[in-house]
Each structure stands twice: as structure tokens, then as C-alpha cells.
Amino acid sequence: MNIDLKGQLKQHPGLAAIYEEAAAAIAAAGTEDALEAARVRHLGRKSELSRLLRAIPEMPAAERPLVGKLGNQARAALEEAMAGRRQALEAAALEERLAQERIDITLPGEPFPGGRLHLITQTLWEIEDIFTGLGYRIAEGPEVETDYYNFTALNTPEGHPARSLHDTFFIEGEAGVLLRTHTSPVQVRVMEKEDPPVYVIIPGRVYRRDSDATHTPMFHQVEGLAVDEHITMADLKGTLEAFAKSMFGAERQIRLRPHYFPFTEPSVEVDVSCMICGGKGCRSCKQSGWLEILGAGLVDPNVFGFVNYDPDEVSGFAFGMGVERIAMLKHGVTDLRMFYDNDLRFINQF
């Protein structure tokens, strides 16, 4: 309430009474309807205030300015009070309505069903992203492949004992055609087409004739190939260390163990420190603290011979990893076959 107005109204007790009554009615209005009734009664055309203001022209000239000024001030003050009151009532009404609109917030929400990418795809993409980040391109090649690319050009000629390690699916009616047993043949195809430097990874499906708890006849590999001047074993180690830390966590270590593959020399198998026990030794790593994740090595000069690269000019490294194994280690999947059962209760978990 305008104190100034109240003091001034003392100069006109009649107006003061009208004002007081109206102000009280507005303040007392408990509903929007009551407030409207108060407006009609105290501010409407037939209200005492309106009548008083309309009667000003008939008042003595000396009174007119005072009544006019005070009356209009009182009207403005009352309208303001009215608006304030209306806002308060509306707010209260909204609050009450909202309070009544209670629902069970524990019920589940709209499903907006989102499907899942297969864990193999997620793992493949993650591997691809790490290597594209390191500057590698992704190459692809045929799955129905010739003996030449799958074995011979990879320094595994006919009769080589390493051939018997691969249980190969052969194609009926086409001599020397098979389902590739690894993605390595694409190495040769890439090098046939391109001059060094070559930095590629080769993801894809591969096939071996084997089916039991730890083998499926189809699985996935990612092959990597770097050929350039001055590529060293140290580069291989650094690259795979970067991969392992990126894939399994910054605190992971890797170690290289000498091994044998026909198409690399020296050849190594690569272990990552066990992510389950942190390297202390547990059931998963057979107490060794290490888990084997891939095979690798420097490209054998004989392979360069097949693609007309000069081993005195360039050197290279290659590596190959099983995507299923990486996914199993990372996510604790215990049965390889689940990847290909495609049960939604499996797929939806990742």
C-alpha cells in the first residue's frame, strides 16, 4: 500500500472509506470468481468510486483537482492490487492443479526401442578407430580366395607344414580356391596395387574348418600392415603398445614372445597384461598375469619378393588379431559360440 496515498487520502475521508473497503475486498477475495465480483463492485461502472469520479464535474471548482487527483490515484492503486491478487490466485490454482496431476513415476518410460550393434561390430569399429587414428587406412578383400594369396604369396608354398595348421575349407569344382583362413591375403593384394609407404588394417571374416567350444567355423580378424623405409621391430612394439593401451586401458603393458609364422621373420606373439587381475595372476590368465592377444612380426623378405618390393629399400611389420578373442577378454564373454547364436539376450547386453 502506497503510504503516501494513504496519508493524502486523509484529506478526503469519503474517498478514503471507499478505498479502504475496496482494498479489503480485493485482499479477501479467495477465488478468481470472488476477485471478479470485487472488481465489478468496487471498480466497475456502478461502483462508488466510479460514481464519485463521474460526479467531479458537479463538484465545487476548488475541490475538483484534489478529488480528481486522489480518486485516480486510488483507482490505479486498486487496479494494481487487483492484478497482484489475480496473479497470486492463478499461481495458487495452477499449483493445486499440478498437485492433483500426480502420476506413478515408478512405471517404466516409453521404450523408444534402440537396437544394438553386435559386439563383434563394436569391437571391430573400436579397433579400426584406434588404427585410423594412428594413420592407417582400412582395406578389404575377397573371402573366397585363391590358394596363391592365402598361402603361397605369404611364404607358405604347397607342402609347407604350416598349411596343415589351418583347417581350410576348399571350394568345390575350383582347384586352388578356398575360404580365406586369415585376412593376411589382403596384405598381398594391397602391396600388389600400391607402392610403399603402406599403412593399412584389414578387418574381415575368415574361415577355418573347426567347430567346438573354442572354435567357430567363421570368425573375424584384423590384420595390420606397415611398409615403409626404416620400419623396425621397435615400431611394431610401439604400435601394438599404443593399441593395447587404447583398447584395454592406459595401465596395460605388453610383452613380445618369439613365435613362428611363415610370412613374418622375426615372428612374435603379443601378450597384454591381464586386465582382470592387473597382472598379478588369476584364473583367466592361468596365473601368468598375461593374456595372448595377437601374432605379429616383420614382413618376411620372401613376401616382398612376391609383390616386387625391394627388401633392401623397405621393411615392414604385420600383425593379426582375432576380434572375438579381444571382445571376449574385454567383456568377459566365456563362450565363443554365443557370438554366432545371435540370441538377442546376448546382443542386447553390449
Cis-peptide, bond into residue 266, ω within 30° of zero:
yes
Under the binding rule (CB under 8 A), the answer on residue 151 touching another protein is: no
Q: Which of residues 171-210 bind another protein (CB under 8 A)?
A: 171-174, 176-177, 179, 197, 199, 205, 207, 209
Q: Do 21 and 13 form a contact (C-beta atoms < 8 A)?
A: no
Q: Does 212 bind another protein (CB under 8 A)?
A: no
Q: Which of 123, 184, 187, 239 binds another protein (CB under 8 A)?
A: 239
**Are the C-beta atoms of 336 and 243 separated by less than 8 Å?**
no
Exactly one of 108, 250, 308, 313 binds another protein (CB under 8 A); which one?
A: 108
Among 2, 31, 72, 348, binds another protein (CB under 8 A): 348
226 binds another protein (CB under 8 A): yes
The Cα–Cα gap between 134 and 25 comes to: 79
Chosen residue from 1, 28, 144, 276 binding another protein by CB under 8 A? 144
CB of 323 to another protein, least distance (A): 10
Is residue 235 close enough to count as binding another protein by CB under 8 A?
yes
- Binding residues for another protein restricted to 6-65, rule: CB under 8 A: none
Rounded CA-CA distance 204/222 in Å is: 7
- Look at residues 268, 276, 220, 221 and name the one whose alpha carbon lies nearest to residue 251: 276
Nearest-approach distance from CB 291 to another protein, in angstroms: 13
Cβ-based neighbours of 143, under 8 Å, separated by 6 or more = 179, 180, 204, 205, 206, 207
Interacting stretch for another protein, rule CB under 8 A, among 15-23, 26-34, 36-44, 143-151?
Answer: 143-151
Binding residues for another protein restricted to 284-323, rule: CB under 8 A = 286, 298, 300-301, 315
Q: What are phi and psi of 255, to 5 degrees?
A: -140, 150
C-alpha cell read off for 63: 475541490
User: What are the angstrom distances between the C-alpha of 43 and each of 14, 53, 86, 142, 292?
Assistant: 16, 11, 15, 90, 90
Secondary element (H or E) of residue 49: helix 48-54
CB of 97 to another protein, least distance (A): 23
Give 41 or 169: the residue with its C-beta nearer to another protein: 169
Please work out the total of residues on this chain that contact another protein, with binding judged by CB under 8 A.
92
> Does residue 91 interact with another protein by CB under 8 A?
no
Q: Where are the beta strands (DSSP E) in 239-326?
A: 254-261, 264-273, 290-299, 315-322
Q: Answer yes or no whether residue 103 interacts with another protein by CB under 8 A.
A: no
Which residues are paired to 299 by β-bridges?
A: 264
Q: Is 81 in the site for another protein (CB under 8 A)?
A: no
Q: Residue 267 interacts with another protein (CB under 8 A)? A: yes
